[in-house]
Amino acid sequence: MATSPPNTTQHFTPRPKKWVETPDHDWNDWQWQLKHRISDLETILQILQLTPEEKAGLNSDHRFRVDITPYFMSLIDADNPNCPIRRQVIPLGRELLAFEGMEVDSLEEDQHSPVPGLVHRYPDRVLMLVTTHCASYCRYCTRSRMVGDPKASVNKQGIDLQIEYLQNTPQVRDVLISGGDPLTLSTTFLNYVLSRLRAVPHIEIIRIGSRVPIFLPQRITDELCNMLRRYHPLWLNVHINHPKEITPEASNALAKLVDAGIPLGNQSVLLAGINDSLAIQKELVHTLVINRIRPYYLYQCDLVKGSGHFRTPIAKGIEIMEGLRGHTSGYAVPTYVVDAPGGGGKIPIAPQYLLSQGVHQVALRNYEGYITVYQEPENYFSFNQEAPLPETTGVSSLLSGHQKHIKPENFDQAHDRKMNIKDKTVTSG
C-alpha cells in the first residue's frame, strides 16, 4: 500500500547479515556503496539462495556485467527466485539465448551518432552519453553493447567534442544526459558537463536520465542537489519498475530532488514476471504520484540481446493501459511506447477509443464501453496561417501541404505497368 514519503534520513531497510555490523556512516556513503558492489557468485551465495539457472547465469563467461549495490541487494527476497527486484539484477542462464528479432543495437543509436557518445535522432533534441557506468546493471539493458565496458569510457575530451557539435547545431533545444548513469559521475565532473551545456545559447532544456535514486539513494546528497538547482530548467527522469523499489530511502532521495525544484518523471519497462500486471502497474503509478513523480513512459521491452525472457506481447501493454485510463487519475497514466527497431523512435500505443469518423461526426468509446458521438464543426477555419516548418516530415508533411503523398522505397518501380520493349524483337506470324 502506498504511503507518504518520510521526512527523515535514518536507515529504514533491514540489511542482510553480511552488512549488519557495517557502520551507518559507511552504509550511507554513496562511494562506499559503489566500492562494495557485489558481482561474483561466491559473495552472492552468502546472501541469496540461488537457483541452478541463476548459478549458470553468474558463471557464464559471456554474460552482461553484474554489479549490485549492497543497498539494492538488501531489497531482494533471499528465498524467492521470482522476487521482482532479484529478477532485474541477477542473471539467468536463458539470458544468453537468442530470440526472434534480437539485435545488439536494436535502436540503431550508433547509426544516428554524428560524434562519439551523442545520438541525434529527433530534429530538435539529442541524447548525450556521458558515462558507461551504472550503480547497478539491469539485465534488460538497451545499451549492454557498451554500458559497463571500461574500454568505452567517456572522458573530458569526448564531452568537449559533443559540446562542439551542439554549438554548431542550432536546431537542438533539448539535451538528454544519459549513459550509463550520469549521477554516478563525480559532482565536479557533472557540474562541468552541465555548465558547458548551459553556455550554449540555443539549448533550452536539460534532462537527466538516472536510476541512481533507486539503486543508490545515498548519492542524492545536499551537495549534489545544490549543484543541480543552478542549471534550471533541469528535468530528471528516474527508472522505477516496481513499487517495491520505492523504499523510505528512495522516497527521501526523490523528495530532495523535487524540493530542489527538479520535476521528476518515471520511465519504466514492461517486464514479464515483474510488472506485467494491472494491479502492480496501478500500485506503481499511485506510489509514484504520491512521491511527486509523473509517470512518463511505459516502454515495451527492446529487442536487445539478453532481454528475450523479459518480453511480453504488445497486447499485454494495451490491456494494462485499458485498465489505467479512466480508472485512475489522468496524470497517473503513462504513455505506453514501442521504441521502434531500426531507429524509428518512440511510437505511442494505446487502446482504440476513436471508433469511426464520418462527415462532421466522430464515434468515441470511453473506458467503460460507453459509446457516444461527438459533433464536429461544419464550418471550421484556422486563423493560424503561419507557414509550416521546413523540416516537417512524415504524415505531418501531408497535412501541412509539403507533400502530396509518401511513397515507400521502390514504389514507382513496382507500379510501373508500361511494357518495356527495349532490347526485344517484335515479330508477327
**C-alpha distances in angstroms, 126 versus 110, 209, 366, 370, 411?**
13, 13, 36, 42, 32
Residue 339 a catalytic site member:
yes
Rounded Cα gap, residues 145 and 17, in angstroms = 35
b/e for 379-406, b at 16 or more Cβ within 10 A? eeeeeeeeeeeeebeeeebeeeeeeeee
Rounded Cα gap, residues 32 and 25, in angstroms = 9
In terms of Cβ atoms closer than 10 Å to its own Cβ (0-12, 13-18, 19+), residue 138 is buried
pLDDT digits (tens, 9 = 90+) for 269-286: 999 999 999 999 999 999
Residue 65 a catalytic site member:
no
Which of 15, 26, 77, 122 does the annotation list as catalytic? 122
The answer to whether the CB of 94 falls within 8 A of the CB of 273 is: no
Torsion sign, CA atoms 289, 291, 293, 298: negative
Write out the DSSP string of 285-344: HHHHHHTTEEEEEEEEPP-BTT-GGG---HHHHHHHHHHHBTTB-GGGPPEEEEEETTTT
CB neighbours of residue 145 within 10 Å:
18
Residue 301 a catalytic site member:
no
Residue 73: partners with Cβ closer than 8 Å, 6 or more residues away = 16, 38, 47
pLDDT for 105: 78
The answer to whether the CB of 130 falls within 8 A of the CB of 105 is: no
**Residue ranges covered by each domain of the chain:** 24-94, 109-348, 350-380
Assess whether pLDDT exceeds 50 at residue 421: no
Q: Output the nine-digit C-alpha cell for 93.
A: 542462464
Residue 1: partners with Cβ closer than 8 Å, 6 or more residues away = none
Residue 149 a catalytic site member:
no
Residue 134 a catalytic site member:
yes
Assess whether pLDDT exceeds 70 at residue 1: no
b/e for 47-70, b at 16 or more Cβ within 10 A? bbebeeebbbbbeeeebbbbbbbb
Q: Which residues are annotated as a binding site for [4Fe-4S] cluster?
A: 134, 138, 141
Q: Average per-residue pLDDT in the chain?
A: 90
Q: What is the DSSP letter of 127?
A: E
Angle between helices 187-198 and 156-167 (to 10 degrees): 20
Q: Output the nine-digit C-alpha cell for 369.
A: 464501453
The answer as to CATH 3.30.390.30 being correct for domain 109-348 is: no
Rounded Cα gap, residues 262 and 228, in angstroms = 8
Residue 353 a catalytic site member:
no
- For the chain, the first-to-last Cα distance in angstroms comes to 89
Assess whether pLDDT exceeds 50 at residue 420: no
- What proportion of the chain, given as a percentage, has pLDDT over 70? 91
Assess whether pLDDT exceeds 70 at residue 389: no
Rounded Cα gap, residues 310 and 270, in angstroms = 8
Which of 37, 71, 140, 141 does the annotation list as catalytic? 141
| Confidence at 5, pLDDT banded by 50, 70, 90 | very low
Rounded Cα gap, residues 90 and 87, in angstroms = 6
Residue predicted with more confidence, 115 or 402 = 115
Give the count of alpha carbons within 13 A of 176, CB side only. Answer: 17
pLDDT for 100: 84
Residue 346 a catalytic site member:
yes
Average pLDDT over residues 204-210: 98
Average pLDDT over residues 360-388: 87
Which of 181, 276, 302, 336 does the annotation list as catalytic? 302
Element (H or E) spanning 174, and its range? strand 174-178
pLDDT for 424: 46
Assess whether pLDDT exceeds 90 at residue 65: yes
Which of 65, 229, 316, 346 does the annotation list as catalytic? 346
Assess whether pLDDT exceeds 50 at residue 6: no
> Which amino acid is it at 286?
H
pLDDT digits (tens, 9 = 90+) for 238-253: 999 999 999 999 999 9
pLDDT for 99: 84
pLDDT digits (tens, 9 = 90+) for 40-51: 999 999 999 999
pLDDT for 237: 98
The answer to whether the CB of 230 falls within 8 A of the CB of 220 is: no
Rounded Cα gap, residues 306 and 89, in angstroms = 12
b/e for 243-282, b at 16 or more Cβ within 10 A? bbbbbbbbbbbbbbbbebebbbbbbbbbbbebbbeeebbb
Average pLDDT over residues 24-50: 96
Which of 137, 138, 282, 336 does the annotation list as catalytic? 138
Q: Which residues are annotated as a binding site?
A: 134, 138, 141
Torsion sign, CA atoms 422, 427, 428, 429: negative
Which of 121, 292, 294, 365 does the annotation list as catalytic? 121
Helix (H, G, I), strand (E, B) or coil at 284: helix
Assess whether pLDDT exceeds 70 at residue 68: yes
Query: pTM for the whole thing?
Result: 0.87
